[in-house]
A = this chain, B = another copy of it.
Amino acid sequence: MYTINELQSFISAEIDKEISRIGQAEPKNLYEPVGYALGMGGKRLRPVMALLSCNLFSNTVENAIPAALAIEVFHNFTLLHDDIMDKAEIRRNRLPVYKKYNENVAILSGDAMSIMAYNYLLRCESSDTAQMIRLFSQTALEVCEGQQLDMDFESRTDVSISEYMNMIRLKTAVLLACSLKLGALAAHAPAKTADLLYVFGLNLGIAFQLQDDLLDVFSDQGLLGKRIGGDIVSNKKTFLLLKALELSDTDTQKVIQDWLGKDRFDADEKIQAITGIYNNLNIKEITESFIGDFYQSALNVYEEIDLDREVKSVLLELAEVIMKRDH
């Protein structure tokens, strides 16, 4: 079996090949931004998951390459369009596509990437291809729904934790789950095992997003590579904020709502104030424990997966990589 590092190198080389192929494609103004977006890198977590999952059932991972590329291209398409919608200033230390080129370019190149993702998946010559495309397409629509809910929450003050959990399930977790299941289907895994891998990925994906919320506030700034407290400054309805609103008394709730309502404020002062409230309410520990619950759910599913322990243990390594990704 391949190690996670080996899979990362393997898929990075495949993606680089695609980037240079795309670099030759016409019209240039459509495809150059696609290559730029794909070239921004990142850990290639999702395509690695597809290959790794395939590798659980097959000595080779070649069959999962179409799915891995599809997922990576789709994921980067969502980042590309999200950056327009969020007016993001930076993406992985580089200019977002809509800033490097312009908004029209970003819209159309993103549209092309969404379609290209299907084209990659369609390279798969498996009897399970139709099922794989159905799963992928269903997941893709769910990701759009998650993004819409996230945007809806920006202007709402009454978001419940269960609504939030549904949002992160759709926006983040289903694509990780889909990555694992697609890899399994590419290797003709038994349906039950493929489904368990989906649920494993779903729980891990939720833990992953909650961890992201936590790291925004409680992390070493240098290691995270972005400003601490960005979510606090932008009033993002994270698990931490929603939990703090739930647990605090009326006075503290009012303090939080006052901060949320301010148009002009000193960012550091706001971060300090909200973080202070989080500390008083033990939000860090509560969130860590909640993350632990989903991590444990993933482990419970792991136990059910009908594969030799020495084979499937790579899933535990994957879980470690996902949860320790940024610090």
Contacts and interface: CB of A to CB of B under 8 A. Distances in A.
A53 B149 CA distance: 40
Given A130-B129, A137-B119, A152 B29 contact: yes
Interface string A99-123: 0000010011011101110110010
Given A114-B114, A129-B130, A151 B119 contact: no
A29 B115 contact: no
Contacts of A149: 27
A148 B30 CA distance: 6
A138 interface: yes
Interface stretch (A139-147, A201-209, A221-229, A290-298): A139-147
* Copies of this chain held together in the complex: 2
B122 A141 contact: no
Contacts of A140: 115
A114 B144 CA distance: 11
A84 interface: yes
Contacts of A112: 141, 144-145
A133 interface: yes
Given A27-B152, A104-B151, A115 B144 contact: yes
A307 interface: no
A46 interface: no
Q: Interface centre among A84, A140, A145, A148, by most B CB within 10 Å?
A: A148
A216 B271 CA distance: 57
Contacts of A81: 107-108, 111
A1 interface: no
B29 A151 contact: yes
A40 interface: no
Nearest to A138: B119
B141 A115 contact: yes
A115 B70 CA distance: 13
A149 B29 CA distance: 8
A144 B26 CA distance: 11
Interface in A26-78: 26-27, 29-30
A118 B130 contact: no
Contact of A148 (B108, B110, B122, B145): B108
A134 interface: yes
A81 B109 CA distance: 12
A286 interface: no
Given A85-B107, A118-B133, A122-B130, 7 more contacts: A27-B149, A29-B151, A30-B148, A84-B104, A108-B151, A111-B144, A112-B145
The 3 closest A-B pairs by CB, nearest first: A30-B148, A112-B144, A85-B104
26 contacts: A27-B145, A27-B148, A29-B152, A30-B144, A81-B108, A84-B107, A85-B104, A85-B107, A85-B108, A104-B151, A108-B144, A111-B114, A112-B141, A112-B144, A114-B114, A115-B137, A115-B144, A116-B141, A118-B118, A118-B137, A119-B137, A119-B138, A122-B130, A122-B137, A130-B130, A133-B133
